[in-house]
Structure 1
């Protein structure tokens, strides 16, 4: 018997690893005060990837021979920017990166009106504001009357000591536009390029209907007093005052 060995499909050497370095997430986004985990992995035995050029106070780093985790807690504006990870596989260097973006948008808007309770037919002054917003230049504030978007000046942007921003917008509404039951709404949108992720907030105020019902009830009372005075000894002078009122 003759044994024939073939080497066409067998190699005594292990396959080479591609040495691919991967950083996730590709678009890292975290809210100010929040936490995020950045993962750098290298498809190579003993590759030992590591985050490069990071301030030691930036976050906690957990490393193994094949991956490195960067744990960021209580995120601040100073922490945003490009983060680099490097590794070496079989004498070849590899590098990857991700851009960490931070943002801030409070849950509520402040809406103040003058008068405090809007009354149909009376002009109104509306003031909408929001603070602790980041990044600058990314927020749009809009006014609505019902479903109709109103023309209004751009909101004023002011920075504070924490590099966060506040926005204020005022709206003057003529009396003929202040109709009973009408809703006036202030909306903001924070758009974050390049991912185009957006966040929205809104608050609204409705024109009171109490004025009409109060006048209607007063009219009914006045008519009742007038009728009653004609059928009783109710003082006519008082009845006249009520009827005229």
Structure 2
């Protein structure tokens, strides 16, 4: 093939030397050469030629959701949201050249989501067997494409694979490990790979597993919205202490008693003071009676 291209180029140079460049018009070129597009993404196919006698044009069967813009020597075919119905061959032509030129490309469509890791049972118990599952949903690819999966925990695990497809060729894949065992927090990883011709796509997921322990062990599963007994105890309001309250009540009683005693002492002091005044006033006044006795206060 390379020898034929070399001879073709040599012939073109010879014809150009003979001043007949029209016979050496370049073939139509399209890009990208091997388009592989994910479902829902946009793509633009470009067709270009150096033929000066005609414009390039994309040949499509259904133009309802496809737009085409053409300039003097270039044509753009745009698909805003690719779906499986867009998969197939697309041909670009330049019809008004001396010799009709055309170029065809194959558009490939795929769907390859991020895998989801889970366990059976959902909340593994320390020291009891459980299984790990890696799931891919709504996967779309060609018949000759391959999907592979690697489930690992320290090393690669043996798995069983199940596949379920609908009428639109969208498939669900599930890989399940053999029985596992654990007693403390541990990690599992799932790596999936889709190969479409020379193209390869990889998606990964990781799962941290927390085990329910025996009675008395702390446990908090981040995948569960239920609160553990420890969390509930933490969120319960603390009881109000009565020790301080008793001290306050005792202090209040003592203060009341002291106030009452102070009032009594004050009243007696005033009464005694009045008695002294009365007796002093009697001493100053003349009296024929016996001498005054000491007061009794």
Normalising by structure 2, report the TM-score: 0.59
Give the structure, 1 or 2, with the largest relative contact order (CA under 8 Å, sep 6 or more).
1
Give the structure 2 partner of residue 5 of structure 1.
Answer: none
Counterpart among 36, 42, 53 of residue 35 in structure 1: 42
Q: Where do residues 17-32 of structure 1 align in structure 2 (5 Å cutoff)?
A: 18-32=25-39
Q: Which residue of 1 is the match for residue 248 of structure 2?
A: none
Q: Which residue of 1 aligns with 2:202?
A: 199
- Please say if residues 28 and 101 of structure 1, whose CA atoms lie closer than 8 Å, have aligned partners that are also in contact: yes
2:109 corresponds to:
102
Q: Secondary structure at the match of 2:137?
A: strand
Alignment check: 8 A CA contact 1:131 1:166 kept: yes
**1:1-245 pair list within 5 angstroms:** 15-16=21-22, 18-57=25-64, 59-88=66-95, 90-107=97-114, 109-135=115-141, 138-146=146-154, 148-153=155-160, 155-175=161-181, 178-192=182-196, 194-208=197-211, 211=213, 214-215=216-217
Deviations 1:18-66 (A, max 9, x none): 2331010001121111110000011121321111243223511111231
Q: What is the CA–CA distance in structure 2 between the aligned matches of 1:27 and 1:163, rounded to whole Å?
A: 22
Tell me the matched-pair count.
199
Q: In structure 1, the residue corresponding to 2:201 is in which secondary structure?
A: strand
Contact 2:89–2:107 (8 Å) recurs in 1: yes
Name the Cα RMSD after superposition.
Answer: 2.8
Contact 1:183–1:207 (CA<8 Å) still a contact in 2? no
From the superposition, tell whether residues 130 and 12 of structure 1 become closer, same or farther in structure 2 (CA, over 3 Å): closer
Spell out, residue by residue over 1:161-193, the C-alpha distance to the aligned partner (whole angstroms, 9 max, x if none): 443111112223243xx353332222221222x
CA deviation after TM superposition for structure 1 residue 203, in Å: 2.9
Conserved? CA contact 2:116–2:205, under 8 Å:
no
Greater Cα radius of gyration, structure 1 or 2: 2
**SS at structure 2 position matched to 1:78:** helix
1:122: how far off? 1.8
Conserved in 2, the CA contact under 8 Å of 1:187 and 1:202? Answer: yes
1:128 Cα deviation after fit = 2.4
Structure with greater strand percent:
1
| Distance of aligned partners of 1:215 and 1:56 in 2 relative to their CA distance in 1, 3 Å threshold | closer
Shift of 1:215: 4.5
Where structure 2 has 5 or more consecutive residues not aligned to the other structure, the ranges are 1-16, 219-297
TM-score by length of 1: 0.70
Question: 2: distance between equivalents of 1:121 and 1:62?
Answer: 66
Helix, strand or coil: the match of 1:55? coil
Runs of at least 5 residues in structure 1 that lack an aligned partner in the other structure: 1-10, 217-245
